[in-house]
Amino acid sequence: MGINKIETYNGRISTPNLSKLLDYDVLFLYSDYNWKDNQAISQVTQKFVEHGGALVFAGAFALSIEHPLKDLVGNIINGFLPLAKERVIRHHNSSLGEFELNHPLMKQIKVFDGGRASFYVDTEEVFGGKVIARWKNGRPLVIEKKISPEFGQIVALNIFPISESAFGNGWIPDTDGDKLISNSVIYAANHSPHTFREFRKKNIL
């Protein structure tokens, strides 16, 4: 499976409903501003995963204990995502450390530099997930988690996902951040059951 279509949705303005999300195989979720309704986006994200949809989650501010309206709440935090809420730190020009060389999430990835800010959630706690890559200081950078065979695959990227080309404090563009994100989307899609397709056939959704 490759990436055939990308649609952006501004969660500051409104929250997509489940039917809208189920038009897609993968939800890529991150925040830099307050959600219009962080409870609603948390609940619909949980339902999407429960229906077999894949989730790629860029942790930085959506798990920050210092920015409560940017973060996610409820069961999506307590039972789904593999990273704990913690403060977001700037670790100037932090880079990729140890990683599983042969894992599909790290395909063709040789170097990653988080840029001048290198935002990430300052936690070592991983709940039911497997760390695939770490920052140079040992903090988790890439984590995968599968809750059950019926649920979608979750990939957590403990980064701020915008490059320096669009955001001055973003990751360095001539490193492999683009591959890290695209690998995560494709891997999550390929390891998710997408059970909602069967519901659609039966006109349940």
- Ordered domains of the chain (ranges, CATH): 18-201 (3.40.50.880)
Residue 171, Cβ density class (10 Å: 0-12 exposed, 13-18 middle, ≥19 buried): buried
pTM for the complete prediction? Answer: 0.88
Q: What span, in angstroms and rounded, lies between the C-alpha atoms of 159 and 31? A: 11
Q: Which residue has the higher pLDDT, 130 or 4?
A: 130
pLDDT tens track for 68-123:
556 777 778 778 888 766 566 667 778 999 999 999 999 999 999 999 888 887 77
Q: With cut-offs at 50, 70 and 90, classify the pLDDT of residue 201.
A: very low
Helices marked H in 97-176 — which ranges? none
Residue 76: how many other CB atoms lie within 10 Å: 23
